[in-house]
Chains A and B, each alone.
Chain A
Amino acid sequence: MVEHRPWNDIIAYAILTFGVFIVAFPVYLALIASTHDAATVVGGNMPLSPGSHTLDNYYRAIFVGGSRTSREPVGHMLLNSLISATGIAVGKIFISILSAYAVVYFRFPFRKTAFWIIFVTLMLPVEVRIYPTYKVVSDLHMLDTYAGLILPLIASATGTLLFRQFFMTVPDELLEASRIDGAGPFRFFKDTLLPLSVTTIAALFVIQFIYGWNQYLWPLLITTQDSMQTIVTGIKKMLTTTDELAEWQLAMATAVLAMLPPVAVVVFMQRLFVRGLVETEK
């Protein structure tokens, strides 16, 4: 804004505050709901201020599970989410950094073909191939396992592309200097490339962790036992009880817990997150 009109800034602040409000309100409501008892929440007249049942609700949610159903305690679901999200992030980083390294720093027959094979996977998210992938996982006896939750989701090329782009910006002179110093591919990777890649790895970790944590359709399909539910799939199940009213206050507490880790990651690692997002999408 070039002009110097004072109310210009005021309007901006107003709009932004309104935006933040819209964005925060649903979560705020969930937080409030998680602090009241069942009757208040379901009664239709829930107040907008916190209630007194916070500890009670969270304790029950995390350790006990829905009382009138055989739902798994959220604590266990949190663990499942953590394992699968971390597994997806680490798994993807691992395989993509290796393949990006191969594609960028080596010359070999079919190099371009290999790259395109990997690149094409960008185009089709897992939702498009759910049932055949389900069959594969089932045939491999990986239903209801962590491997089944993790492996199909690390197949896409986002990581490889990201690392490839990053490696291209690393000056050739570093490699040449390393070779003159007698380093082979392993040493170069370990001593030079990897340290340089740390921020890229961290950025990818943030994005993939959130991606993995928030998965819904895939875990829904391949997990049948309650003990393997992730927290994101678990919430929905809390609300679809056929016999009784759903325990909304526990569901809301669970929702808050489900949001906490990814939001914390975004807020505290914002710079890395933004970077990872912008780089992987370009």
Chain B
Amino acid sequence: MEKSAFFNSKLLPYLLLVPQLIITFVFFYWPASQAVWQSFLREDAFGLSSEFIGLENYQALLAQPEYYKAMLTTLVFSSLVAVLSLSIALLFATQADKNLKAAPVYKTLMIWPYAVAPAVAGVLWIFMFHPSLGTLARPLRWMGFDWNPLLNGNHAMTLVVMAAVWKQISYNFLFFLAGLQSIPKSVLEAGAIDGAGPMRRFWTIVFPLLSPTTFFLLVVNIVYVFFDTFGIIDAVTGGGPAGSTTTMVYKVYADGRLGGDLGSSAAQSVVLMVIVIALTAIQFRYVERKVQY
């Protein structure tokens, strides 16, 4: 994993590293450590003095019903989005993997939503499903639902989930397609000769061989829901109605904006940090043990 040929300059490497290290320090390590430090403090209303209070912020947090609500929302949200967008993307990827003549065209057409900003995606979907002017809201009401994501928490959650799944399909599709195409065709032919029909081949050969990709995408999707969906939520529901679409990240933002309780906000940030680090660590460890051919 190392180059055997290298330069012997003494000063140059440090100079080359300086830009990145400075930026990383100023805009990453310093704020991150500030967040950790602040989570142990309580500041007064004017931000003039602060008091070390140990884990009190965390305890207060865990006593807050809103915090549990946010955790639950985040959990539900990430499970739904992950499961839905992974299954739908896998379905499309398996179809695109067949040797269709127009496959490259379909590939392009399925990928471009990746380029849409989450916030813009949110705007598009609230436009489609807006209770008064949404084009798709009409059929829903005609079918008997009293569709109102602006007032009904479950409707709001559904809408946000749909928008998030929509955006994430292209990313998952891309990786699934790459994973499918890396399975040697001869292994599938051997399966066919061994008497396995298409569905059986898919579940006994393709799906197990796809598992590193699936796992990787699962982690990425979860991280995505944790963080990148901020734009969608803000655009569609603003975290409401009544906090029903407030995820943990959104809560950090909202609390910081309104309450000014920096200690609590910092504590929430630290909790998120720990979760992400754990998820990433799991992913690295698992992805190391990829299937070899």
Contacts and interface: CB of A to CB of B under 8 A. Distances in A.
Contact between A and B in the complex (any CB pair below 8 Å)? yes
Interface of A: 1-3, 8-9, 11-13, 15-16, 19-20, 22-27, 29-30, 33, 41-46, 48, 94-96, 98-99, 101-108, 111, 114, 117-118, 121-125, 127-133, 135-136, 151-152, 154-157, 160, 167-168, 172-173, 175-176, 179, 184-185, 188, 210, 213-217, 220-221, 232-233, 235-236, 239-240, 248, 251-252, 255, 258-259, 262-263, 265-267, 270, 273-274, 277-278, 281-282
Contact of A44 (B26, B110, B132, B227): B132
Contacts of A23: 109-110, 112-113, 166, 169-170
7 contacts: A1-B98, A2-B189, A3-B198, A98-B19, A101-B16, A168-B1, A172-B5
B270 to A, nearest CB: 9
Nearest to A15: B95
Nearest to A21: B109
B55 interface: no
Interface of B: 1, 3-10, 12-14, 16-17, 19-21, 23-24, 26-32, 34-35, 38, 88, 91-92, 95-96, 98-100, 102, 106, 108-128, 132-133, 135, 138, 166, 169-171, 174-175, 178, 188-189, 192, 197-198, 216, 220, 223, 227, 230-231, 234-235, 238, 249, 252-253, 256, 262, 265-266, 269, 272-273, 276-277, 280, 287
B266 A106 contact: no
Contact of A235 (B3, B91, B235, B266): B235
Contacts of B249: 127-128
A123 B276 contact: yes
Contacts of B91: 15, 19
A151 B116 CA distance: 22
A259 B115 contact: yes
B31 A216 contact: no
A265 B17 contact: no
A266 B16 contact: no
A57 to B, nearest CB: 14
B17 A98 contact: yes
A277 B176 CA distance: 13
A91 to B, nearest CB: 8
A252 B133 CA distance: 13
Contacts of A24: 109
Contacts of B276: 123-125, 128
Considering the complex of A and B, which 7 residue pairs feature the smallest CB-CB distances, nearest first?
A214-B117, A132-B31, A216-B231, A262-B115, A102-B16, A106-B13, A2-B192
Given A15-B95, A129-B32, A155-B27, A29 B124 contact: yes
**Most B C-beta atoms less than 10 A away, residue of A13, A103, A127:** A127
Given A1-B98, A23-B166, A176 B113 contact: no
A96 B24 CA distance: 11
A102 B14 CA distance: 7
A136 B5 contact: no
A173 B4 CA distance: 10
Nearest to A282: B287
A108 to B, nearest CB: 5
Given A43-B133, A107-B8, A239-B123, A131 B262 contact: yes
B19 A20 contact: no
A16 B118 contact: no
Given A99-B17, A172-B3, A217-B253, A236 B124 contact: no
Contacts of B111: 266, 270, 273-274
A236 B234 contact: yes
Contacts of B6: 104-107, 175
Contact of A117 (B13, B21, B88, B231): B21
A278 B277 contact: no
B112 A263 contact: yes
A175 B170 CA distance: 40
Nearest to A98: B16
Contacts of A103: 13, 17
A8 B34 CA distance: 58
B21 A118 contact: yes
Contacts of B92: 15-16, 19
A232 B117 contact: yes
